[in-house]
Structure 1
Amino acid sequence: MSRIAFLVVAGFVALTSFLGGLVMALGSWLGPERLGLPPEVMIPNSMLAGSPFASFLVPGILLAVIVGGTHVAAVVLVIGNHRWGQLMAAAAGYSILIWIFVQMVFIPFSVLQLVYFLAGLAEIGFLLLMLGLLTPQGATHVHTASEPRRSVQGA
């Protein structure tokens, strides 16, 4: 269940990060009208005042490649049960959290920031469930052969 939930959330973040970053970069580079978009859908460059960027070209590329790419890799590796899947899942979850933290330094709060911050927290939570480090409330923990049994001293 937690694996499927992780894949749904990470897949959503992968798709929207990649496409959003692509639109940001291409819209900044080519102009929204060449993408067939009305100019009002693009975030004005004035939102980047005080940031190291003059346009959304570089942030768009970073969003698509780093956040989107990390999430795509995590989804593919988790689906394939690859030994690096859980590590990439952690990297993906933290990448969106870091992205939102940095974004909030430069761009005023928006509901989308909250949505993606919660998505990142959900990814980390689902990963902890997949790893068995967190159990759903009310669930009992089953000891495996590799876990040492704890004894009660002085009872």
Structure 2
Amino acid sequence: MKIVYRLLLILHLIVGIGAMAGGLEAILNPQSPMGMPTTTLKNSPFTNFLIPGIILFVVIGLGNIISALVFIFKTKLQGYISGVISFALVIWIIVQCIMLNDIVFLHVLFFSIGVVQAVLSIAVLFERRQFPTNIILSLYSKLRR
């Protein structure tokens, strides 16, 4: 299980640092972050990248950094926090693809990373026998009898 914890820590750090960098760029230059024109937002409720940048920086960026810190300090909430942040990344990518009406390699990459994080987070919950996995394991053991 050590490899699961290390992999989650590394993935949360990579996603967190990248999201904070991208979010900060969108906050500082909301009209054209990294050369992306605001015309790409035509299918979204936003006229510039300021609000998406704030969400990216705070929820995805800081959320993943906090999740990484939770793994460093080994709290009981590791699986839960990692799972929530992982699902937030998956939802962020889906919404982004819908709003931009496009799918590029980075969407596929970060969607996949979010799914891997979520699966590994569930593995942590199973290993620790935390809710709701404790119920699943209990039912499974009763069915095996």
Alignment TM-score > 0.5, same fold: yes
Gaps of 5+ in 1: 33-40, 134-146
Letter in 2 for 1:120: G
How many pairs align?
A: 132
- Report percent identity of matched pairs: 23
TM score, norm. by length of structure 1: 0.77
Provide the rounded CA distance (Å) in 1 between the counterparts of 2:79 and 2:123.
Answer: 11
2:20 corresponds, among 18, 21, 33, to: 18
Question: Where is the helix percentage greater, Structure 1 or Structure 2?
Answer: 2
Structure 2: stretches of 5+ with no match in the other structure: 128-137
Is structure 2 residue 125 aligned with structure 1 residue 131? yes
Contact persistence 1:27–1:42 (CA under 8 A): no
CA deviation after TM superposition for structure 1 residue 82, in Å: 1.2
Aligned to 2:77: 84
Using the TM superposition, give the Cα deviation of residue 62 of structure 1 relative to its aligned residue in structure 2, in angstroms.
Answer: 0.6
Per-residue deviation, 1:151:
7.7
Q: Is 1:121 aligned with 2:123?
A: no
* CA RMSD after TM alignment: 2.3
Q: Letter of the aligned partner of 2:50 in structure 1?
A: L
Equivalent in the alignment of 1:3: 5
1:36 corresponds to: none
2:53 matched to which residue of 1?
60
Deviation at 1:8, TM superposition (A): 1.0
Cα pair 2:79 2:122 within 8 Å, conserved: no
Residue 14 of structure 2 aligns to a residue in which SS?
helix
Cα distance change on mapping 1:102 and 1:151 into 2, 3 Å: closer
The correspondence for 1:99, drawn from 92, 109, 112, is 92
Larger radius of gyration between Structure 1 and Structure 2: 1
